[in-house]
A = this chain, B = another copy of it.
């Protein structure tokens, strides 16, 4: 991080993180391509050269913004791995952690989910997303192997359905609404791991088999 450096050079009111926040909001609203450095400067009330004090290019702003989301997601799985325990419990923690990241870093995750791989920065972010997906998929495999989650579904399909559900939250979640991150994480885990259906006697017999 170069925050100290940035703060020393920045104009009052905007440090590097402050510029990043406004830029991400603009990228999400207008699209990355449609948001010029001129538009950003206008929104910030800064000159373009003042922005260039903090970031070498628009591409670097995007890179830093995507790293906020990716670092947070990687942090979830790193911490979970470090804590250890049964794979099913680690999967539970990864799902909860991903929901928390989505809620806490909503604009950054929204930006990440829109990346289509048009530039080197975007392709590199997609590669990091795929690496994250592979780690979650490996965790699903491990949980299947230990017999704690059902093993009749392809692990890649499981991973995609789980993160399809989690990522869709960016479409409707509004900060400050009735759903807190913890509550939403409980809901996701309830649907994905325990299922909506109340168990019936024969379903239980079938599963415990």
Compute how far the CA of A112 lies from the CA of B207 in the bound complex, rounded to whole angstroms: 38
Chain A interface category by residue count: 35 or more
Q: Mask for A176-193, Cβ within 8 A of B = 1, else 0?
A: 001100001001101111
Closest to A92 in B: B197
Interfacial residues of chain A within 131-145, with CB under 8 A of chain B in the complex: 143
Closest to A151 in B: B198
A171 close to chain B: CB less than 8 A: yes
Distance between A116 CB and nearest chain B CB, rounded to angstroms: 11
What are the residues of chain B within 8 A of A171 when measuring CB–CB? 160, 164
Compute how far the CA of A160 lies from the CA of B191 in the bound complex, rounded to whole angstroms: 11
Compute how far the CA of A171 lies from the CA of B160 in the bound complex, rounded to whole angstroms: 9
A203 close to chain B: CB less than 8 A: yes
Compute how far the CA of A191 lies from the CA of B147 in the bound complex, rounded to whole angstroms: 16
What are the residues of chain B within 8 A of A150 when measuring CB–CB? 190, 194, 196-198
Known: A160-B171, A164-B167. 11 other contacts (CB 8 A): A88-B197, A143-B196, A149-B196, A149-B197, A152-B190, A153-B191, A158-B191, A161-B188, A192-B192, A199-B199, A199-B208
User: Could you list some 27 contacts between A and B, CB below 8 A?
Assistant: A88-B197, A143-B196, A150-B194, A150-B197, A150-B198, A153-B187, A154-B178, A157-B179, A157-B184, A158-B191, A160-B168, A160-B169, A160-B171, A162-B191, A163-B168, A164-B165, A164-B171, A168-B168, A191-B191, A191-B195, A192-B192, A193-B195, A194-B197, A195-B197, A198-B207, A199-B204, A204-B204
